[in-house]
């Protein structure tokens, strides 16, 4: 995991050499290699996540997701796909079109009360509506595609084994950073693990967001990112959180003030895999070199000004919804060990949350089902 950098550079999109490159096929040899013991590691992680949720339940008297528990804002917008060259006209991007989307900004750890002034990775989850194509079995009854982003390009929980080891350390020593760091410094991936505490704490609306893990992209393998592209968003990049003067909810406050007066726009870019040694799929702890493997724009996301912190939206999402990259198109299949872990851990986390809160999970099929105000009713 590297610290955030200025996200406002343009992608080298549409040049002839990008069209003619030899991209790795998603089902080619060596793309996925399941290591021994992975199933046991994944089951252990699911239990650990439930343990974290139980601890937060005891503290807050309400159960949240095991990660990304703190909602910073929720907004509705539109995804716009234009004409693309053949290597980018993949999956749901094969034809021009427009799709309603809802986006949730969050902070990564599992504590919903985590102070915004503490530097940590930020997240962005996106649900796309009315998507056509063959879906995975669990999500085949609702035509939505779930997408996840994080503000760091590499994932510290890089595979199932690493995830089990790191979460175990966080549970044991998370309340004592000095002792936690002593254990992290004994690891070979020390810099990766400590980088989450060194991220640049800036306005979320100016922050570039990454998939971190690899996904099928139609015929190919890719990672993806969201790039803030309006001039107003870009100017906010220099605005950092001041722990001495800002309140503990500054990120939510900044988002709400931004969307009260401004539209937002993102470029959705994909980075295609060409070399499995240099662009590992199974190990998500390495960012793919964007100089060698450029980001290429496939769509725009446009978000009109609105209230980004409507209580009914927040409650509906947290109590009844979940985002899961295994809910969606087979042509956007999650790849690699970190994503195989999510296939087990996410449902386990959701089931525990619903049970403890006495709230049913709701699989919505229309953006209109997400409240724009008032009270959460009829669920």
| pLDDT tens per residue, range 125-158 | 999 999 999 999 988 889 999 999 999 999 999 9
* pLDDT for position 281: 98
Q: Residues near 18 by Cβ (< 8 Å), separated by ≥ 6? A: 12, 87, 294, 296
Strand partners of residue 144:
129
Is 220 within 8 Å of 28 (Cβ atoms)? no
Q: How many CB atoms are located within 10 Å of the residue 312 CB? A: 16
* pLDDT for position 118: 96
Two tokens, residue 358: 């006495």
Cα–Cα distance for residue pair 256/219, rounded to 1 Å: 39
Two tokens, residue 282: 């199974």
- 16-369 to CATH, choices 2.40.180.10, 2.120.10.30, 1.20.58.2050, 3.40.50.2300: 2.40.180.10
Is 270 within 8 Å of 223 (Cβ atoms)? yes
Q: What is the 3-state secondary structure (H, E, C) of 121-156?
A: CEEEEEEEECCCCCECHHHCCCCEEEEEEECCCCCC
* pLDDT for position 376: 76
Cα–Cα distance for residue pair 308/286, rounded to 1 Å: 33
CA dihedral 339, 343, 360, 312 (to 10 degrees): 0
* pLDDT for position 378: 59
Segments making up each domain of the chain, as ranges: 16-369
Cα–Cα distance for residue pair 134/132, rounded to 1 Å: 7
DSSP string, 98-117: EEEEEEEEEESSS-TT--TT
For the chain, list residues with pLDDT below 50. 1-14
Q: Please list, residue by residue across 148-181, b when 16 or more beta carbons sit within 10 angstroms of its beta carbon and e when fewer do.
A: bbbbbbbbbbbbbbbbbbbbebbeebeeeeeebe
* pLDDT for position 379: 67
DSSP 369: G
């Amino acid at each position: 995991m590297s610290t955030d950098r200025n996200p406002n550079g343009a992608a080298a999109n549409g040049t002839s050499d990008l069209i003619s490159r030899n991209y790795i096929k998603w089902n080619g040899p060596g793309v996925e290699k399941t290591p021994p013991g992975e199933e046991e590691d994944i089951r252990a992680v699911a239990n650990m996540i439930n343990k974290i949720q139980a601890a937060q339940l005891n503290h807050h008297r309400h159960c949240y997701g095991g990660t990304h528990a703190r909602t910073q804002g929720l907004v509705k917008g539109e995804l716009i796909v234009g004409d693309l060259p053949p290597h980018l006209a993949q999956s749901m991007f094969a034809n021009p079109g427009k799709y309603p989307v809802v986006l949730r900004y969050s902070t990564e750890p599992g504590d919903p009360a985590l102070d915004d002034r503490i530097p940590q990775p930020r997240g962005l989850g996106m649900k796309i509506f009315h998507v056509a194509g063959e879906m995975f079995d669990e999500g085949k009854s609702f035509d939505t595609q779930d997408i996840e982003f994080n503000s760091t390009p590499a994932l510290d929980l890089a595979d199932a084994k690493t995830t089990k080891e790191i979460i175990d350390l966080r549970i044991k020593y998370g309340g004592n950073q000095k002792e936690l760091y002593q254990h992290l410094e004994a690891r070979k991936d020390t810099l990766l693990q400590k980088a989450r505490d060194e991220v640049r704490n800036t306005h979320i609306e100016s922050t570039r967001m990454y998939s971190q893990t690899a996904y099928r992209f139609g015929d190919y393998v890719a990672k993806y990112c969201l790039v803030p592209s309006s001039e107003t968003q870009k100017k906010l990049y220099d605005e950092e959180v001041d722990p001495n003067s800002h309140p503990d909810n500054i990120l939510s406050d900044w988002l709400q003030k931004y969307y009260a007066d401004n539209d937002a726009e993102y470029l959705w870019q994909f980075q295609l895999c060409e070399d499995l040694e240099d662009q590992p799929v199974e190990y998500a702890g390495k960012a793919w070199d964007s100089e060698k493997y450029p980001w290429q724009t496939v769509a725009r996301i446009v978000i009109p000004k609105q209230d980004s912190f409507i209580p009914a939206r927040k409650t509906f999402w947290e109590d009844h919804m979940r985002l899961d990259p295994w809910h969606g198109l087979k042509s956007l299949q999650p790849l690699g060990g970190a994503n195989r872990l999510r296939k087990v851990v996410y449902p386990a986390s959701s089931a525990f949350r619903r049970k403890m809160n006495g709230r049913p999970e709701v699989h919505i099929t229309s953006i209109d089902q997400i409240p724009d105000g008032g009270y959460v009713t009829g669920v």
